Amino acid sequence: MEIDDYIVATDARLVELASEGDQQAFEHLFTRYREALTRLFEQRLDDKAIASDLLQETFIKVYLHLDSYSKSYTFGQWIYAIARNTLVDHLRRRADDISIDERFRSPQATTPTPEESVIIRQSNSHFYAALEELSEEYRRVIEMRFLDEYSYEEIAEKLGKPINTIKTQIRRARAAVCKLILEKE
């Protein structure tokens, strides 16, 4: 077969040729699926070296079991199933490598420590005290943006002002709050 024939051949035809021992047919299958499978592994693992190893492992499995490929599935479905199973096997092996201590370690606390709670309360009291010292206009935009979590567009619409005016007011109000907090500390 000419190189052009391999390029335009269907997956099923390339599998048929590779099963008969045609190395070029298998190389073309590899070329067709290499990038997609590499992306699959890299997205799941965030490690290019392991992704490359799993890609090679997948294609070794494909090569060894090519004669068991069933045309009831597309070759793409079949190879993705092998790749997925290879990834799952890898993740299981990696989980087995984790020590018992690490497996049963309690997760980090998501609640603040007593010291952090005091700091948070102090910060909040400084913030609200500074907010009280702002002009009514600045206080309203700060409350709408950061306490009520309105978008710039929503604030502009509710106050009937241009969005750039709102952005400027929020920036100035935020700077004023920061200045007032720093003066109190």
User: How far apart (Å, rounded) are the C-alpha atoms in residues 24 and 124?
Assistant: 69
* Number of domain units in the chain: 2
Q: Which of 103, 137, 167 is the last residue of a domain?
A: 103
Q: Tell me the CATH number at 80.
A: 1.10.1740.10
Rg (CA), the chain: 30
State yes or no: pLDDT of 103 exceeds 60: no
32-67: pLDDT as tens digits: 899 989 988 888 888 889 999 999 999 999 999 888
Q: Tell me the CATH number at 143.
A: 1.10.10.10
- Greatest extent of the chain over all pairs of C-alpha atoms, in Å: 83
Residue 81 and residue 30 share a domain: yes
Q: Name the token pair of 16.
A: 């048929």
100 pLDDT band, cuts 50/70/90, is low
Average pLDDT, the chain: 84
Indicate left, alpha or beta for 144 from its phi (over 0: left) and psi (-120 to 50: alpha): alpha
Among residues 117, 122, 50, the alpha carbon closest in space to that of 90 is found at 50
Q: Does residue 26 lie within any of the structural domains?
A: yes
Domain span at residue 146? 114-184
Q: Does residue 108 lie within any of the structural domains?
A: no
Residue 94 and residue 7 share a domain: yes
State yes or no: pLDDT of 104 exceeds 70: no
Residue 120 and residue 73 share a domain: no
* DSSP labels, the chain: --HHHHHHS-HHHHHHHHHTT-HHHHHHHHHHHHHHHHHHHHHHH--HHHHHHHHHHHHHHHHHTGGG--TTS-HHHHHHHHHHHHHHHHHHHHHHTS-HHHHTPPPPP-SPPHHHHHHHHHHHHHHHHHHHHS-HHHHHHHIIIIIS---HHHHHHHHT--HHHHHHHHHHHHHHHHHHHHHH-
State mean pLDDT over 12-35: 89
Please count the CA atoms within 13 angstroms of the CA of 29 that sit on its side-chain side: 28
Q: Does residue 32 lie within any of the structural domains?
A: yes
121-151: pLDDT as tens digits: 777 787 788 888 889 999 999 889 888 888 8
